[in-house]
Amino acid sequence: MIEFKNVTKRYMTKTALRDVCLKLDKGKIIGLVGLNGAGKSTTMKLIAGLVTPTKGSIEIDGSKVTRRIASKVSYLSELDEYYSFYTVQQTIDFFASQFADFNKDKAEEIRAYMNLDANTKVKHLSKGNRGRLKIILTLSREVPVLLMDEPLSGLDPLVRDSIVKGLITFVDTEKQTVLLSTHQIMEVEMILDEVLAIKDGEIVDHRNVEDLRYDEQQGILEWMSAIYE
């Protein structure tokens, strides 16, 4: 379980997150939605231990989050900078060497599914293929928490579709919690269990998608419109 206890994050004069209290349960795919600059990436980085809270604390399964929480968290950054001198296979091998939980068989399975050539140098990959590589590297880790910051951003519809299908196929929802931020709500709506809305650094709503759909007869987009307009 991921728990935020009164977390505030300030960057000089700008408050990115304001006194956030939050509990995210195990085994869910959770969408983090919000406008640009709302605090989505900061939330992801805080859970990954790549930034530290100005106030409050974050715990994953009872352990305080530090940079070394990387042993429990697989983080997909919105940036797609990798070591350009490596090939796809060498990048996978390097990740496998750094994380004891990295499943190379699963990586090979996802790579084949994503139709990504193992021998292509990373520097020669298109944006879409770099997006696919990010997915391979993130989903191949057998960790309790998967964080995906804008995994669909800037990709063409075919790549987005293969990534969403990859998520359904390769995430172990029994053991893994997935938190993904995206602006492509329509494309991920069908795979989300919960949705979190963030606005000006505050969590303004946290809903179960099924409840939203059946009890309130609303899709995520309509629910978002009510929040942000």
Q: Does 225 bind another protein (CB under 8 A)?
A: no
**Among positions 36, 62, 97, 229, the unique one binding another protein when judged by CB under 8 A:** 97
92 binds another protein (CB under 8 A): no
- Which one, of 208, 165, 163, 179, lies nearest residue 2 by Cα? 179
Confirm or reject binding of residue 63 to another protein (CB under 8 A): no
Q: How far is the CB of 82 from another protein (least distance, A)?
A: 7
**Residues 165-198 as b or e (16 or more Cβ within 10 Å = b):** ebbeebbeeeebbbbbbbebbeebbebbbbbbbb
- Which of 2, 16, 75, 198 is the binder for another protein (CB under 8 A)? 75
The residue among 3 and 93 lying less far from another protein, judged by its C-beta, is 93
Does residue number 11 form part of the binding site for another protein (CB under 8 A)?
yes
Give the residue among 124, 42, 155 at the shortest CA–CA distance from 135: 155
CA distance 139 to 74: 8
Closest CA to 67 of 52, 82, 57: 52
CB of 194 to another protein, least distance (A): 24
**Shortest Å distance, C-beta 4 to another protein:** 17
Neighbours of 80 (CB within 10 A): 16
Closest approach of Cβ 56 to another protein, in Å? Answer: 16
Q: Which stretch binds another protein (CB under 8 A): 30-38, 61-69, 158-166, 196-204?
A: 61-69
By CB under 8 A, residue 52 contacts another protein: yes
Q: What is the nearest approach in angstroms of another protein to the Cβ of residue 162? A: 23
Q: What is the DSSP letter of 141?
A: B
For 54-103, the DSSP string reads SEEEEEETTEEP-GGGGGTEEEE-SS----TTSBHHHHHHHHHHH-TTB-
Q: Considering the rule CB under 8 A, would residue 71 count as an interface residue with another protein?
A: yes
In the complex, which residues of this chain contact another protein (CB under 8 A)? 11-12, 45, 48, 50-52, 66-71, 75, 77, 79, 81-83, 85-86, 93-94, 97-100
